[in-house]
Structure 1
Amino acid sequence: MATAAELANDSGSPADPLDAFRGEAKAWLDENFDPALRGKDNAMSAVDGPTEETPAQRKWREAMGAKGWGVPTWPKEYGGGGLSRAEARVLQEEMAKIGAWNPIGGMGVMMFGPTLLEYGSEEQKRQHIPDIVKGEVRWCQGYSEPGAGSDLASLQTFAEDKGDHYVVNGQKTWTSGGQWADKCFALVRTDKSQKHAGISFLLIDMDAPGVETKPIRLISGQSPFCETFFADVKVPKENLVGREGQGWEIGTRLLQHERNSLSGGSGSAGRMNAGKTVPDIAKKYRGTDAEGRIDDAELRTRIIKHEMDQRAFALTLRRAALEAKGNAGPSAATSIMKNVGARITQDRAELNIEIMGMQGLGWEGEGFSEDELAQTRSWLWGKAVSIYGGSSEIQNNVIAKRILGMLDHQ
């Protein structure tokens, strides 16, 4: 396969760097992506638990992991792609052209990896980042507790200093994928005398003695979350990220990365009927007129407005990425993106249910297709989009204080 440096025009002058990279990316994808995988998805991304990889899926994941292109802009020294943002966009475009999807994902990519690259020690980066890059380790998030949700800084899970290790006791809740995870990044209290300054950021092995998970069944019928209990769990001191008492700073930064990822509205509510647009579904269930249009003028207007909102949002996300400079990373503006993405995702689910009528309200039994039953669960699951990752109300507070400069008035 030709490299970017070898791709030059007939006159012998160098080709445009991005054009050269596009050729390299296309050639590599043609060689490594199995067309039979089009329309599939990341086996680790299923809401109701990771599915078993097929041999073809495993081969694709291993190829992308070895290339580092699952996290294209991460540093090459830790296994990442080492690409510029412009090159990463080109890669994404070429993947979209052939229906290729990213087999590397999960919380390690969305949240923990970017945060560790910023705050972790060199040893921690070399220990954890390569496994994330290759998609070989599942991470979960230990933040919320029964008495510390919106007021996360009230968390009480305590890590007692025992010299060369900590002993952790406490409980976390809404631990997404905790029952399938290998490791957990958690906020724990190391000082009971201070609220925010007493919190530290700790990495915990989920198979360590004393760790127990109990899945929480949701109204959608799925159990993507669980309660996590820590009973005298020994954690080595080298698993502390940053310094003691820096957990609130690190944890807040990680939430910005999370909201940046969630702002795309890519939850399960958006995965149902993959490849089918709202207009496609409307034409199937509502029919078309003599001109091939959706046979309901008022519904057409609402769908057009939704499509405009969705496309405008996608362009805004892309512009925000283009405007990002250096290693500044996500900012408080991700709270705006998260709220808008949540609304658009929920609007789509509501539209689909309305369009499908009674066929969109099935739970089980004959008379409903697999897609129709999935739509009902997807619609119910979508209600959580405005709650997880920080509720819309909390995002509004962040927007008011950190973007609009509004202060609390007693």
Structure 2
Amino acid sequence: MADFGSEVETFRAEARDWLEANFPKALAKDPMAQVAKMSAQPESDDARAWRKAMGEKGWGVPTWPAEYGGGGLSTAQTRVLHEEMAKIGARNPIGGMGVMMFGPTLIEYGTEELKRQHLPGIITGEVRWCQGYSEPGSGSDLASLQTRAEDKGDHWLVNGSKIWTSGANIADRCFCLVRTDTTKKHEGISFLLIDMKAPGVEVRPILLINGTSPFCETFFTDVKVPKDQLFGPLNGGWTVAKRLLQFERDNISAGLGGGNIGQTVAMPTVVEAARQYVGLGEDGRLADGDLRRRITEHLMENRAFQLTVRRAQDEAKSKGPSNAAAIMKYAGAKIAMERNELLIESLGHQGLGWGGAGFSEAEVQAMRVMLRSKANSIEGGTSEINLNVVSKRVLGLPDPK
């Protein structure tokens, strides 16, 4: 009988030695610097070196096929790698929409030519992708999209616009839904891969209430796209698009339970903030009993959510995410918003700062992150749409009459 325990421990030693040799120690002191590239900040020398090392090793996407540059690791090895990274304060520098959404879909649906063309850049973090789905008149009813792609013989000619294209201003390429047949709705949609540096592509960042501009308007005016950049069947893009949405919801929900989108500096946890700003009573417990109760309920709900996400991810490794990802996305958005609202409440008047003297960087960040978290219930499928998915495709309930 094979001794898988010995194999795992052998890999643990390999991972530990490799991390010791390649992880820049300075990054452990500033974890946010490790994700600078994904948050559109200039990469430091250490962050760049760490990304290149992980990209060349393939460990940024540890379970992806080794033949395309991925890590090719087993589930057990991947768990060990994450454990060893956590011990030294190392975060995965390879991420973004290429990893979260497009890459897994490409592995499942792409031709060999498209895989070999696009997967290496995603795996090394050299190529950044954005998502061309929503349009000004096509949000929740995504299939009503009107961006056109006309067949011009040796290329597609794309005209139209997209909105809420996260990171479009720094993206190299866009996975984009276009209409190739105006006589049908869902069956008239195709999936194109567009070079964001191509002539005719214009991007305008949208200023959000928290002072950042992660979302953009994107305009396509007579943009030429090579014929070989059609992903999936002609007029069969809707099937591919739905699968990608499952990966998106699965990845967003996994992140919502443990972190904050848009966070760029370290912030206190809800418990830390409550202890510091609200204070403890003579019994050593949080002085505000009602706040103590609500924080406890939140922590229990979040812990149950994280365990459920982990179980769902283990199940998805064999067959990919299912429509149950809509449940996790809905729950994750709710929990993330509750966490940030509780943090602001715990900070008291120090949580109301926007800038200037009297407020620490972490306090200002808490307010901006709380405002940003409101979008958690919209992006990646609104909470209402996700509840509809659960109703129809998970529970099998009939449409309301």
**Both proteins in one fold, TM over 0.5:** yes
Name the aligned partner's letter for residue 136 of structure 2. Answer: P
1:322 matched to 2:314: yes
SS at match of 2:213: coil
Alignment coverage as a number of residue pairs: 395
Which of 209, 222, 228 is the matching residue for 2:218? Answer: 228
1:37–1:100 CA contact under 8 A, matched in 2: yes
State the alpha-carbon separation in 1 of the partners of residues 143 and 245 from structure 2.
13
3-state SS, counterpart of residue 223 of structure 2: strand
The residue number in structure 1 matching 2:67 is 77
Instruction: Kindly indicate whether the alpha-carbon contact (under 8 Å) linking 1:164 and 1:237 is maintained by their aligned counterparts in 2.
Output: yes
Indicate how the Cα distance of structure 1 residues 407 and 352 shifts in structure 2: closer, same or farther if over 3 A, else same: same
Match runs of 1:8-407 below 5 Å: 16-38=6-28, 39-41=30-32, 42-46=35-39, 50-264=40-254, 265=256, 268-269=260-261, 271=263, 274=266, 276-324=268-316, 326=318, 328-407=319-398
Q: Are 1:44 and 1:106, in contact at CA under 8 Å, matched by a contact in 2? A: no
- Between the aligned partners of 2:283 and 2:370, the Cα distance in structure 1 is 31
Equivalent position SS for 1:408: coil
CA contact (8 A) 1:272 1:375 kept: no
Q: Is the 8 A contact 1:269 1:346 kept in 2?
A: no
SS at match of 2:185: coil
Q: What is the letter of the counterpart of residue 228 of structure 2?
A: E
Cα drift, residue 135 of structure 1: 0.3
Matches of 1:320 and 1:216 in 2, distance apart?
34
Q: 1:374 to 1:126 in 2, by over 3 A?
A: same
The SS at the match of 1:254 is helix
Which one-letter code corresponds to 1:250 in the other structure? Answer: V
Q: CA separation of 1:220/1:270 partners in 2, compared to 1, >3 Å: closer, same or farther?
A: closer
The alpha carbon displacement at 1:263 in A equals 0.4
Q: TM-score, normalised by structure 2?
A: 0.95
> 1:312 is matched by which residue type in structure 2?
A
> 8 Å contact 1:61–1:104 — kept in the other structure?
yes
Q: Distance in 1 between matches of 2:389 and 2:97?
A: 22
SS for the counterpart of 2:71 is coil
Letter in 1 for 2:38: S
TM-score of the superposition, structure 1-length normalised?
A: 0.93
2:359 aligned partner, one-letter code: F
Report which of the two has the higher share of helix: 2
Unmatched 5+ stretches in structure 1: 1-12
Identical counterparts, % of pairs: 60
1:409 and 1:271 map into 2 onto residues whose CA distance is 40
